[in-house]
Structure 1
Amino acid sequence: MGHDDITITHETGRRLAAVRYEARAADIAAKAGEAFRKVAVHLARTGVPITGPAVSVFEADEDAFSVTSGFVVESDVEPGEGVEPFRLPEVEVATTTHVGPYDELDKAYEALGRGATARGRRVDDTGPMWEEYWSGPETPPAEARTVVFRPLVPSR
């Protein structure tokens, strides 16, 4: 799948049950794994079904990221054990599917910037970006599917 296969679509403001944390780039994978486990346990205990993929939302801080990791759910969750409700922004996004190791995701982000520009749009660098993980931890890195989203600056 080529990285320049970019779609412009609308994020509907899906709900997540999620854990927020600060992390440097090198620590994100481990911390996200921990967050997903925590959310899954909380949802199982409170009887809330997971209705969509695992998602991590990234907002860049000075020298780290503020990350929100969790699962798509149909309704707001009861907060507890660090798990809280979170909503994705309702916004137009550029999106692409990356198949391959997570450490090559920067190629997908660059492609989103190029793909948006090619369509006369710009990615909004001030906003959060997010990733959906469609492969479990047992998936070989070369086959891991990650869908990457970057909000767009609204068109006039």
Structure 2
Amino acid sequence: MYEIQERMLVEQPTMVMRGTIKLEDIPTFLGRAYHMVDSQIRDSGAHVVGEPFARYRCLDGEYREFEVEAGVPVVLAVSGHGGVEASVLPAGPAAVTVHTGPYERMEPAYDALNAWLDEHGGHADEPAWEVYHTDPNDQPDPATWRTEIVQPYKEVPRS
């Protein structure tokens, strides 16, 4: 069972790397993206203010190909190079839950968020993002991985 929290988000500057990738390439892409973003943050002196995240937009309706934006929140985003760029996470209401366990078993968390939106008159108008609170390189046991899932939404008037 997933607990859903309602949050009001403020716009958050980020530094990210984007790519269009297949499902099986996500781990490789994320590793490369976080390495590139981290390198440019160190070079630029930008200040990280949160955990790494990834925002996914499904392109094929079958969850095999995605547009991915992977990066970190920063105090002030700076121009990047080599595929790293400034971006923002949007302001507004969001439904949030936490999944503990392997990434491959997150579908019930997304189902819980969607059910909550249906019950509360919300419409997901932006892609959700996942905030990774556990680094698999530091904690190899997938059962301990904590991932926060943030789903921005718009309120839909009930008739």
| TM-score, with structure 2 as normaliser | 0.89
Q: 2:11 aligns with which of 10, 13, 18?
A: 13
Letter in 1 for 2:127: P
Report deviation, 1:35.
Answer: 0.3
Give, in whole Å, the separation in 2 of the partners of 1:155 and 1:49.
Answer: 37
Structure 2: segments with no counterpart, 5+ residues: none
Alignment RMSD? 1.5
Deviations 1:40-78 (A, max 9, x none): 011111111211110111112135111100011000212
Deviations 1:5-31 (A, max 9, x none): 001112211111100001122211221
Instruction: Tell me the matched-pair count.
Output: 152
Are positions 1:60 and 2:58 aligned together? yes
Q: Which residue of 2 aligns with 1:100?
A: 101
Give, in whole Å, the separation in 2 of the partners of 1:103 and 1:13.
Answer: 29
Letter in 2 for 1:7: Q
Q: Which residue of 2 aligns with 1:130?
A: 129
Report deviation, 1:122.
Answer: 2.9
| TM-score, with structure 1 as normaliser | 0.90
Report deviation, 1:154.
Answer: 2.2
Deviations 1:92-146 (A, max 9, x none): 111101111010111110110112223x22341x521101001112222100010
SS at match of 2:28: helix
Q: Which residue of 2 aligns with 1:40?
A: 38
Give, in whole Å, the separation in 1 of the partners of 2:48 and 2:126.
Answer: 26
SS at match of 1:35: helix
Letter in 2 for 1:6: I
User: Taking every aligned residue pair, what percent have the same amino acid on both sides?
Assistant: 26
Aligned residues of 2:123 and 2:156 also touching (Cα < 8 A) = no
Q: Which residue of 1 aligns with 2:24?
A: 26
